[in-house]
Amino acid sequence: MLIRLRLISIFFAFAYLVLVVRLFYWQIYKGKELSVEARGQYQAQWSIDAPRGDILSSDGSWLAASADSWLIYASLPDIKEPSKKISEQLAPLLVEDPEDKDALFTEIDRIYSLLTRDNVEWIPIKSKVTPEVKKHIEKLEISGIGYELQEARIYPEASTAAQLMGFVGKDEAGGDIGYFGLEGYYDVVLSGKPGFKARERDASGIPILLGTTREISAIKGVDLQTNIDKFIQLTLDKKLKEGIERYGASAGVAVVMNPKNGAILGMGAYPSYDPSEYWEFGDELFNNPVISNSFEPGSVFKVIVMASALDAGVVKPDTICNICGGAVKVDKYTIETWNQQYYPNSTLTDVIVHSDNVGMVFTSRRIGADILFDYLENFGIGKPTGIDLQGEANPGLRDKGKWSSVDLATAGFGQGVAVTPIQLLTAVSVIANKGVKVTPQVVDKLVGDGWEEDIKPVIGKRVISQRSAEQITTMMVEAAKNGESKWTHARGFRVAGKTGTAQIPIEGHYDEDKTIASFVGFAPYDNPKFLMLVTLRQPTTSPWASETAAPLWYSIAKDFFEYFQIQPEK
């Protein structure tokens, strides 16, 4: 009896020990893992998407916006119909042009190869599909085909201002990130902050309010309201494209600025790309040539050098150029005028009107290399302008004190000095703005939910006196009226402008036939509403700016005269 009792006691003690060990295993050793598994059954958690901010034009309409798109995927175990049939049903809806048989058959093959893959259960078929296409696919009622919401970036004005906008691509982790232009420069501001929600749910998915709920709200990206005027932007794009075709140029840019506050009203470049399908285009198109490409400005630079000389007090508009009777020798080089015509004893106003290289050698010698260097720096040459776009280049100036007599002479007519179009435009804006420098600015304000923040114009220091600015403006008015481009001048309109034909340096020498033709000008000259630079690369109908860039400038400006309600003088 006693033995039996002892055996039973031992059995119970052993059973108790086993129970304790087992409980230790489940509660302590596997406790965390099981807790997570249990939580997975009753707790749901998901991230809340934060839409990217929109980019708006000055009137509040959209230049770039976020929209819904869909990822079409296949859950292979749920597919019931033959893969070939599904491929043939989906392909016509997923190609751009179903009539293009090559593209259609390629798409059928692509989908078929995806659907027949081994060892996978879930496979993405196509991303960024529009809601309309999704609706068409839904109507087909193909079992095993599913949809996942994605955010797409749309550009309602298509390739208009593409280089200004930039585009949204993917980073290494597969997240959205802005590249180039505004999308790149303001990426942090535009990107929202995704939120998070965790909540307990019952078996039917209904939230259990007595359970724990954690929620971090998503913060939508901030909208950018730009200074871009849609009318100006679209006019620039249309006319620039027409101009490039008409003058047989390989590329071109056109930029419009309000010289009083630096607001960029429009910025066009061609060739361009469609930012919503950027992957279809070459990388070389992504850089914005207005801020990234440097060139030797040629004669448009004369107004900057002349303004510096006038302000330094070393010359006056009626100063006589006593070396303008013929070509001038500088070191081992002979500097001639562009057409080998010489005007002895011409005034410096005539020098600008005739775009006289010899007269500019005279002027730059008067001012001297060091003072000219200081003025050029103050005009913003050799420094980034600070425009709010990603990818601004700065060609830089030759160091102060290292300028030879040839460097000084050639800088007078814009050779041996490299600038970007935006640097040139900003420098000329000093003249248009009565001598005061402004920083070019694309974005006007940041607009969030229930708040907005003005980005105030950055008005810089005075570079030249108002009197000097007025003197050089008068010279530019004369150049527009009586210079080489006078044939295309809009009669009666108060335009101050200057042409520039720069030869392109190739392998250590200047190519006679390959030029960059530019025209920069503002109107009305006494109270400018706009300042515009037009540049054409390698025009083939004529190498001269007076026959290419200038007429294109006036063709665009005529539309702006009406738009800005600028009346002719008579």
Partner 1 sequence: MRRKPQIKISNSKKPFNKKVLFGILISFCAAAQVFFTIGTSALGAQISSFEEEVELLTKENRELEDKLISSTSLIQLRQKAEDLGFAKSTTTYYIEKGESYAMSAP
Q: Which long-range contacts (CB under 8 A, 24 or more apart) does 336-339 make?
A: 338/299, 338/501
Nearest distance in Å: CB 432, partner 1: 24
Count of residues that bind partner 1 according to CB under 8 A? 27
Contact (CB, 8 A) for 189 and 220: no
The correct pick among 77, 174, 205, 401 for binding partner 1 (CB under 8 A) is 205
User: Residue 103, interface with partner 1 (CB under 8 A)?
Assistant: no
CB of 130 or CB of 287, closer to partner 1 = 130
Token pair 């923040």: residue:
453
Between CA 278 and CA 527 the distance in angstroms is 40
Q: Of residues 521-560, which lie at the interface with partner 1 (CB under 8 A)? A: 558
User: Is 368 in a helix, a strand, or coil?
Assistant: coil
Contact (CB, 8 A) for 327 and 334: yes
CB of 55 or CB of 76, closer to partner 1 = 55
User: Residue 135, interface with partner 1 (CB under 8 A)?
Assistant: no
Nearest distance in Å: CB 218, partner 1: 12
User: Residue 71, interface with partner 1 (CB under 8 A)?
Assistant: no
Nearest distance in Å: CB 441, partner 1: 22
User: Residue 65, interface with partner 1 (CB under 8 A)?
Assistant: yes
Q: Which of 390, 386, 470, 464 is nearest to 426 (CA)?
A: 386
User: Residue 189, interface with partner 1 (CB under 8 A)?
Assistant: no
User: Residue 567, interface with partner 1 (CB under 8 A)?
Assistant: yes
Q: Of residues 45-64, which lie at the interface with partner 1 (CB under 8 A)? A: 61-62
User: Is 98 in a helix, a strand, or coil?
Assistant: coil
User: Residue 407, interface with partner 1 (CB under 8 A)?
Assistant: no
Binding piece for partner 1, criterion CB under 8 A, among 96-104, 207-215, 252-260, 436-444: 207-215
Binding piece for partner 1, criterion CB under 8 A, among 180-188, 204-212, 282-290, 422-430: 204-212
* Tally of residues, the chain: 570
Residue 507 makes CB contacts below 8 A (sequence gap 6+) with: none
Nearest distance in Å: CB 488, partner 1: 16
CB of 82 or CB of 568, closer to partner 1 = 568
Contact (CB, 8 A) for 296 and 397: no
Nearest distance in Å: CB 57, partner 1: 9
CB of 231 or CB of 338, closer to partner 1 = 231
- Give me the 157-176 binding string for partner 1, x by CB under 8 A, dash otherwise: xx-x----------------
The correct pick among 2, 5, 210, 506 for binding partner 1 (CB under 8 A) is 210
User: Residue 67, interface with partner 1 (CB under 8 A)?
Assistant: yes
CB of 165 or CB of 360, closer to partner 1 = 165
User: Residue 215, interface with partner 1 (CB under 8 A)?
Assistant: no
User: Residue 131, interface with partner 1 (CB under 8 A)?
Assistant: yes
Longest dimension (CA), the chain: 141
CB of 61 or CB of 113, closer to partner 1 = 61
Burial 358-384 (b: 16+ CB within 10 A, else e): bbbbbbbbbbebeebbebbebbbbbee
What distance, in Å, lies between the first and last C-alpha atoms of the chain?
133
Nearest distance in Å: CB 317, partner 1: 31
Binding piece for partner 1, criterion CB under 8 A, among 201-209, 276-284, 306-314, 514-522: 201-209
Contact (CB, 8 A) for 309 and 472: no
Contact (CB, 8 A) for 264 and 440: yes
User: Residue 231, interface with partner 1 (CB under 8 A)?
Assistant: yes
Between CA 505 and CA 515 the distance in angstroms is 9
Question: What stretches of 156-262 show up as alpha helix (H) in DSSP?
Answer: 162-165, 181-185, 187-190, 230-246
The correct pick among 21, 208, 216, 458 for binding partner 1 (CB under 8 A) is 208
Work out the burial of residue 312: count CB atoms within 10 Å of its CB; fewer than 13 is exposed, 13-18 middle, 19 or more buried. Answer: middle
Work out the burial of residue 399: count CB atoms within 10 Å of its CB; fewer than 13 is exposed, 13-18 middle, 19 or more buried. Answer: exposed
Phi–psi pair at 406, nearest 5 degrees: -70, -45
Nearest distance in Å: CB 324, partner 1: 39
Binding site for partner 1 (CB under 8 A): 61-62, 65, 67-68, 131, 154, 156-158, 160, 202, 205-210, 230-231, 234, 492, 558, 561-562, 567-568
